[in-house]
Amino acid sequence: MKIRIKTAIVLACMIFAAAAQPQSTKPPTGSSKTETAIFSGGCFWCMQPPFDALKNQGVIATVVGYTGGTKDHPTYREVSAGGTGHRESVEVTFDPKKIGYEKLLEVYWHNIDPFDSKGEFCDDGEQYTSAVFYTTPDQKRIFEKTESKFLAQAKVKGSIQTKLLPAKRFWPAESYHQEYYRKNPIRYHFYRSACGRDRRLKAVWGRLVKSE
């Protein structure tokens, strides 16, 4: 009887310990294959919310960071000062069986000014210019196939400045930049308003894409 009681206590402790362990956020083995998409559209604080709004449609995760340059482990201060070749960007992990890359492009186009050659909205410099970094040949094909369709929806016309580039290493930004719009909503909305982002987006596209 004592042995059985002791065994039961040990098993109970093992079950409790297992339940207390943090659960992995990685997809389980055998789950659908995921893809990543990388978009640059000016301030990455403002590019994360519209893709986060798609998390109930197939977007799994978003991370803001830097890509396109040559410097390893770039910092926000270095990138924002210019000269590293990196652009502020957002990396989107998604399930292609639930949401297509074309849908991500639709959201992307409607959240940038594709006619701005100097940057985006109030931010000037190469680090803020718009670009799509394709991670697969199929993403490149879909971009090229749909570009004219999306640009035909613009209410203004001009020379397209958004570049299509092969993906390079993506460097996540510092933790305080991740989901900045949630951590610092007052500062985020003040910046977005002062930068004139929504006013210009409405002028270019005639509407605003819903985001968080």
Residues annotated as catalytic (active site), given as ranges: 43
Conformation bin of residue 42: beta by default, left when phi > 0, alpha when psi is -120 to 50 = left
Q: Which two tokens stand for residue 120?
A: 């985006």
Strands 163-166 and 131-134 turn out to be parallel
Q: Cα–Cα distance between 33 and 201 in angstroms, integer?
A: 33
Polymer length in residues for the chain: 212
The answer to whether 161 touches 129, Cβ cutoff 8 Å, is yes
The answer to whether 207 touches 154, Cβ cutoff 8 Å, is no
Cα angle for residues 64, 67, 69 (degrees, 5° grid): 150
